[in-house]
Amino acid sequence: MFDNLKSLFFGGSDSAPGNVDDDVRLAAAALLVEAGMVDGSLEGVESARILKLLSERFGLSGEAAQALLTQASALQEQSNQLFPFTKVIVDKFDSTQRIMVIEMLWEVVYADGQLHDYEASLVRRVAGLLFVSDQDSGAARQRALARLGLAGPLV
């Protein structure tokens, strides 16, 4: 699966495509890793939040979520672009599922209780690439804050 997605993102072999669910999960996980790392490092709280989101939203076991996080981290390290990941998501997810990805991103960037400018910028860019409106992104942000138990928008 990793080689197939890597080939999809970076070109390469003409091997048969991997499982579509695996590809889109890996693309979403890579965006979550990017969100966790945009402020400098993937902290324990952000990593834990990503694992929780992967388990809950994609119905993965703890071991499967950890394996996906490991693959996503390796893939994210090799890329300095968002478009390959967002393209897979746009192609495979409907609008409701794309909003779910934005909500997941908001949860990751707020996991440490702070929102950095770079994090907010990343979520806005990804929302645009996923064709998620500002209104839907704002609603997703509020749901993420509520889920994290944070009162009102943090700036």
Q: Mind listing the pLDDT tens digit for each residue in 93-146?
A: 999 999 999 999 999 999 988 898 999 999 999 999 999 999 999 999 999 999
Tokens 């908001």 -> residue: 106
- Across the range 58-74, mean pLDDT stands at 94
Percentage of the chain exceeding pLDDT 70: 84
Rounded Cα–Cα distance for residues 41 and 77 (Å) = 12
- Do 1 and 22 form a contact (C-beta atoms < 8 A)? yes
The model carries a pTM of 0.85
pLDDT per position as a tens digit, 32-59: 999 999 877 787 899 999 999 999 999 9
1: pLDDT strictly greater than 90: no
Domains and CATH numbers, the chain: 2-148 (1.10.3680.10)
Q: What is the DSSP letter of 39?
A: T
- Across the range 73-86, mean pLDDT stands at 90
